[in-house]
Structure 1
Amino acid sequence: MAAILKDVMSPNPVSSNATDELTTVSKKMKEEDVGFIPVKEDDKYAGVVTDRDIVVNGLAKGSAENVQASDVMTENIVTGPPDMEVEEAARLMQEHQIKRLLVMEDKEVKGVATLGDLGVENAVETAGNVIHDVSKGNGNN
């Protein structure tokens, strides 16, 4: 039987509120040692903030003060269900040139899967290609 996302994902990721300031979001990232935080607005998933979002979209504004998660978050995120096969998730991540896949079920965040979590054959090379493309602006999460 093929591996599925719920078997390899990091469950129950820490999240932020859309109104959290970037300093709060970045402190959560540091405490949890992550570079990707789901954002909630009115008790619903609204997007994610990545470490790159903070730097490129937040600090580029001149200061992190008075900048909220909603000001820099990426809203249209690629997601997969917990029962998605790992190979399918890897193809989806490569297709969209992303490093992390938000695992959702019934509009709830269940976890996060990275290329490394997927155990993708040639994961280092694949991650390198994704990172290269992301850094060129072809993706943002």
Structure 2
Amino acid sequence: MTQEVVRAEGETPFKVVARMLSDNRISGLPVVDDEEKVVGVISETDLLQHQTQQVEDYGHRHVRRPKVTRSARTAAVKARATTADHLMTRPAITATPEHYVTEAARIMREHGVERLPVVDDKDRLVGIVTRGDLLRVFLRTDEEIRREVTRRVTMGLDVPRYVVDVRVDAGVVTLRGQLERRDDAELAARIAGHVDGVVAVTSRLTHRRTSTRARSAVGISSHV
């Protein structure tokens, strides 16, 4: 994530918001309150919607209006917005520092957003992550990925590093070795799949016996 975040406050004027986006060459920014808690997000789309709605309102004064819907009411509010408070989209879709890149990508896809303010446990802004930030994880080298997969898998299974052999080729992870239980082999593959930059996981792990005993993965977020 980027820790130096361009942000607005509720009272920030429309023109200032537009200037902030232009000067910093960004397509959106979070809006915070006096305690730095994220209360909303403004995107270029919000500004364009404001302008488009104004043209429609002033250009068609005498046209019979359709039934007012929730989205229409929201658009009307944004058309009259002079400050960030009325221009922003709320509530803000956010992430936490503990989210994996795969989780952040899923949140963006599900909500159709291009950026996620990152907040602490008190909803205070600590950073922001964009689609570009997420894509950059796939630029990690195979060796970087191999080291992290090895660390997380051996820690999650509580086994020595030599037990699981990790190979990485163009982001594709291959796991080899023999473990005690089938559960451990399945868990190792899940852990590897959550490492940033991993494209796919091929498991060649074998196991001595089957176990239904539940185990928790060290380093796997409860959000998954």
Task: Answer yes or no: same fold by TM over 0.5.
Answer: yes
Consecutive unaligned residues of structure 1, counting only runs of 5 or more, are: 1-8, 122-141
Structure 2 residue 31 is the aligned partner of structure 1 residue 36:
no
Q: What TM-score do you get using the length of structure 1 for normalisation?
A: 0.69
Distance (whole Å) between structure 2 residues aligned to residue 40 and residue 80 of structure 1: 15
State the AA in 1 paired with 2:54. K
Structure 2 residue 131 is the aligned partner of structure 1 residue 115:
yes
Contact 1:100 1:115 in 2 (8 A): yes
Structure 2 residue 102 is the aligned partner of structure 1 residue 87:
yes
Q: CA RMSD in A?
A: 2.4
For residue 53 of structure 2, the aligned residue among 48, 60, 64 is 60
Q: Could you say which structure has the larger radius of gyration?
A: 2
**Deviating 4+ runs (over 6 angstroms):** 63-66
**After superposition, what is the alpha-carbon deviation per residue over 1:78-120, rounded to whole angstroms, capped at 9, x for unaligned?**
1110121101111111111211111111321111111221127
Matches within 5 A, 1:1-141: 9-43=1-35, 44-57=37-50, 60-61=53-54, 67-105=82-120, 106-119=122-135
Contact 1:18 1:40 in 2 (8 A): yes
**After superposition, what is the alpha-carbon deviation per residue over 1:29-62, rounded to whole angstroms, capped at 9, x for unaligned?**
1121111111123434221111111110356335
Consecutive unaligned residues of structure 2, counting only runs of 5 or more, are: 59-78, 139-224
Q: What secondary structure sits across from 1:84 in the alignment? A: coil
Give aligned pairs, total: 113
Which one scores higher on RCO, CA 8 angstroms, separation ≥ 6?
1
